[in-house]
């Protein structure tokens, strides 16, 4: 599968456009007036950015208008290469847009919420060039038409991708830490991101470059996640985050499969843990014994005695005394389910 194209949305200035293109973006999203959400800029600025973008880089005008004549007039002012229709546009208006703007790309946004998303996608697909699957809610009194930072059910997106017959962009809560999984599940044509590459509202070079590298698979290969089978999501989070001090990276409901995607990470970085609730008796039987009685996981620390003392006070069971090895100091503890962990403080030579 070819690498997914990267669209950086909420571009606010020519400087941000250059930064995004320099990091490898193949498309830019330019947000016009919206009922809610981030990134709105004046149409004059949209036109300025669109005119300055080099050939080969697509410019998307995000519009919440639903009337073809109004959209055509807005496009005449902004002159982007693509129209991103963030609200529902009826079939008659889509046909009118295609007649009026035959050389302009049309992308219809589908806000993935429930089963009706499939029908919306099927109805729009014949009249547009692509679909963009996002996490808004146009049924609210103040419509959410994008920029929510929320992840939706990727299994629903995958089904739309498989059935739509048109290229699909995936949006909604993406960042460098989850984009590889998003690509694996959905296999989209493109990726759309706004808040995941920003810090304090501004496009952040480090986050941007990390996202593009993760999306294109240009990072060095490494183990990203290890699954731990647990009894209960919240019970496991309370231990790994509340006791061991891991950070909660993601906790996303996946209602189509009656589960949550829960990822925690140690404070020093490295491999993350996917906390997977047992679904049947076979999975429940391995809780606490995934390595057959051997040490299962190895956690590195800069101060073993500090962690041992704090975790012992919190009720963590250490099953072996601390010992010194050529590679450093090591002890063994059990997690709340009984899995054995090595806690290792590397020696200066091994670090």
Distance of CA 327 to the CA centre of its chain: 37
* Structural domains present in the chain: 5-216 (3.20.20.70), 222-287 (3.10.180.10), 292-351 (3.30.720.110)
pLDDT of residue 270: 73
DSSP 194-261: SGGGEETTEE-HHHHHHHHHHHHT-SPP---EEEEEES-HHHHHHHHTTTT--EEEEEEEEGGGTEEE
Say which residue, 148 or 6, is predicted with more confidence: 6
pLDDT digits (tens, 9 = 90+) for 88-140: 999 999 999 999 999 999 999 999 987 678 999 999 999 999 999 998 888 89
Q: Which phi and psi angles does 289 have, rounded to 5°?
A: -145, 45
d(CA 170, CA 168): 6
At residue 218, does pLDDT exceed 80?
Answer: no
Q: Give the pLDDT score at 350.
A: 47
Percent of the chain with pLDDT over 90: 76
pLDDT of residue 67: 96
Identify which has the larger pLDDT, 74 or 222. Answer: 74
pLDDT at 349: 56
d(CA 27, CA 60): 7
Cα(8)–Cα(269) distance, integer angstroms: 26
pLDDT at 202 over 60: yes
Single pTM value for the model: 0.63
Residues 135-184 have pLDDT tens digits of 888 889 999 888 888 999 899 999 999 999 999 999 999 999 899 999 99
pLDDT in tens, 279-309: 999 999 999 999 999 999 999 999 999 999 9
Listing DSSP states for 105-130 in one string gives: EEEEEEE--STHHHHHHHHHGGGSSE
- Judged against a pLDDT cut of 90, whether residue 233 lies above it is answered with yes
- CA 180/CA 219 separation, integer angstroms: 11
pLDDT at 198 (0 to 100): 92
Contact 134, 146 (CB under 8 A): yes
């Amino acid at each position: 599968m070819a690498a997914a194209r990267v669209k950086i949305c909420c571009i606010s200035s020519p400087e941000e456009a250059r930064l995004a293109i320099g990091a490898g973006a193949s498309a830019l999203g330019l947000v016009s007036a919206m009922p809610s959400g981030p990134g709105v800029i004046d149409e004059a600025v949209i036109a300025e950015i669109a005119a300055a973008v080099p050939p080969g880089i697509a410019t998307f005008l995000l519009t919440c208008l639903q009337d073809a004549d109004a959209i055509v007039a807005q496009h005449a002012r902004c002159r982007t290469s693509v129209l991103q229709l963030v609200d529902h546009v009826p079939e008659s208006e889509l046909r009118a847009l295609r007649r009026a703007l035959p050389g302009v790309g049309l992308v219809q946004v589908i806000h993935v919420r429930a089963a009706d998303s499939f029908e919306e996608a099927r109805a729009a697909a014949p009249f547009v060039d692509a679909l963009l699957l996002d996490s808004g809610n146009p049924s609210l009194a103040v419509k959410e038409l994008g920029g929510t930072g929320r992840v939706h059910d990727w299994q629903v997106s995958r089904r739309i991708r498989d059935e739509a017959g048109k290229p699909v962009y995936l949006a909604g809560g993406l960042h460098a830490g989850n984009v590889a999984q998003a690509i694996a599940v959905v296999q989209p044509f493109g990726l759309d991101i706004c808040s995941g590459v920003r810090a304090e509202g501004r496009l952040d070079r480090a986050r941007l470059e990390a996202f593009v590298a993760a999306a294109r698979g240009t990072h060095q290969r490494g183990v990203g996640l290890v699954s731990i089978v647990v009894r209960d999501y919240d019970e496991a989070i309370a231990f790994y985050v509340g006791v061991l001090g891991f950070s909660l990276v993601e906790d996303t409901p996946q209602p189509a499969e009656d589960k949550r995607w829960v990822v925690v990470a140690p404070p020093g970085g490295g491999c993350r843990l996917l906390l997977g609730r047992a679904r049947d008796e076979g999975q429940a039987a391995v809780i606490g014994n995934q390595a057959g009685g051997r040490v299962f996981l190895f956690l590195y620390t800069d101060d073993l005695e500090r962690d041992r003392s704090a975790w012992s006070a919190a009720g963590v069971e250490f099953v072996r005394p601390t010992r010194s090895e050529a590679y450093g100091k090591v002890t063994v503890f059990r997690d709340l389910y009984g899995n054995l962990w090595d806690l290792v403080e590397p020696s200066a030579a091994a670090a």
